Amino acid sequence: MTEVVATETLVEVEDIKVHFPIKRGVVLDRTIGYVYAVDGVDLAIRRGETYGLVGESGCGKSTLGRAMLKLTPPTSGRVVFDGTDLSAMRGEPLRKMRRRMQMVFQDPMSSLDPRQSVESILVEGMRAHGLDKDRETTAKRLRSLLSSVGLPSNALRRYPHEFSGGQRQRIGIARALTVDPELIVADEPVSALDVSVQAQVINLLEDLQEEFGLTYLVIAHDLAVVRHISDRVGVMYLGGLVEEAPSDLLYAEPLHPYTRALFSAVPVPDPIVEDSRERILLAGDLPSPARPPAGCRFHTRCPWRQEQRCDTERPALREIVPGHRVACHFAEDIRSGRLRPHEVRPELIEQDGTGGVVGADDPLAGPASITEALG
């Protein structure tokens, strides 16, 4: 984990929302609802730090990362990058701004064009931003970048299929670096790699951050990876940010019930620690992002649920201790032990053969495949 000294904010996200329409019809395509992939997220990333974003599959973390770069247009809200509001930017101004913001994608094979050589892949971005002015200078820069990511210079003449998964991810990282970005959004950068290679790529990202002065948003579901690389961590659940804190503080004392359940599910190789630590087994399934629960999104599975507020009032993300924000009405009571957990009884919903609810006149109660739109 890199020590962060600067406190200047580089990226600020204000009440960002990304809602995907659900359409039905062959001739007349009508919207019958929305998938609330990201639904009102506020966060800030400081210059030079690594911000980790975690959560289970379908919580919207990848969609949030893409919305920050405007690869996925936000439905509403603002993204402010280095004092510039990206919300109204279009065309050439946005294209120029994107030079300062790059992305490393999850699957290095699908994000690299198999018909292009490594040299062609790396030069493409430089050429788009007018940085490929001199052939000799460009060749020298490409060799330097390959050396920085741990690849030989003869890799320039080869094609993506000739490399291993870890090497392909290094090419993806080099591609992001060709245009001298300030922010890199790394979407599950090691999840497609072997465990033995993951540590190499994570250490590479840390070395590059120090060498080039980069700021990272690292999206992952592997809590160990996030803990190792991140300065601060945000936890997402069903389209919203439920907790945010410095990495060491969050892992030492998670305050939100969902974060506590998430951390308790991580296996520990020490049997003594495994037997003594808190275990929270969540009842029920993750609600549909097309029909999120009213009030607190987590109340349908929360062992500390209090019906008076949790079922009706959505909690705001507020600071409980310095630097530690939590979206929970009763975080202080849970932390102090004044509020004790209780059994959660999930409702059983009978479904028909298509995935819809039997007897329910609800066009949104269809199959769970809509979560494929989320990250």
Tell me how many domains the chain contains.
1
Whether residue 371 is predicted with pLDDT greater than 90 in this model: the reply is: no
118-128 and 165-177 helices cross at what angle (nearest 10)?
20
SS3 for 94? helix
Within 295-347, strands assigned E span: 318-321, 324-326
The pTM of the full predicted model, rounded to 2 decimals, is 0.86
Percent over 90 (pLDDT), the chain: 61
CA atoms within 13 A on the CB side of 357: 11
Asked if residue 166 is part of any domain, the answer here is: no
Whether residue 348 is predicted with pLDDT greater than 90 in this model: the reply is: no
In whole angstroms, what is the distance from residue 233 CA to residue 256 CA?
13
pLDDT of 354 reads 36
The one-character DSSP state at 368 is G
Asked if residue 330 is part of any domain, the answer here is: yes
Domain residues for 279?
A: 253-342
In whole angstroms, what is the distance from residue 219 CA to residue 105 CA?
10
Asked if residue 157 is part of any domain, the answer here is: no
Convert the pLDDT of each residue in 14-52 to its tens digit: 999 999 999 887 777 888 899 999 999 999 999 999 999
- N-term to C-term CA, the chain: 25
Convert the pLDDT of each residue in 166-188 to its tens digit: 899 999 999 999 999 999 999 99
Convert the pLDDT of each residue in 256-303 to its tens digit: 999 998 888 777 666 665 555 667 778 778 899 999 999 999 999 999
Interior/surface letters 26-57, b for 16+ CB within 10 angstroms, e for the rest: eeeeeeebbbbbbbbbbbebbbbbbbbbbbee
Q: What is the pLDDT confidence band of residue 110, given thresholds at 50, 70 and 90?
A: confident
Q: Residue 373's CB: how many other CB atoms inside 10 A?
A: 17
Asked if residue 318 is part of any domain, the answer here is: yes
For the chain, what is the mean pLDDT? 85
In whole angstroms, what is the distance from residue 82 CA to residue 248 CA?
27
In whole angstroms, what is the distance from residue 283 CA to residue 333 CA?
22
Convert the pLDDT of each residue in 49-90 to its tens digit: 999 999 988 899 999 999 999 999 999 999 999 999 998 888
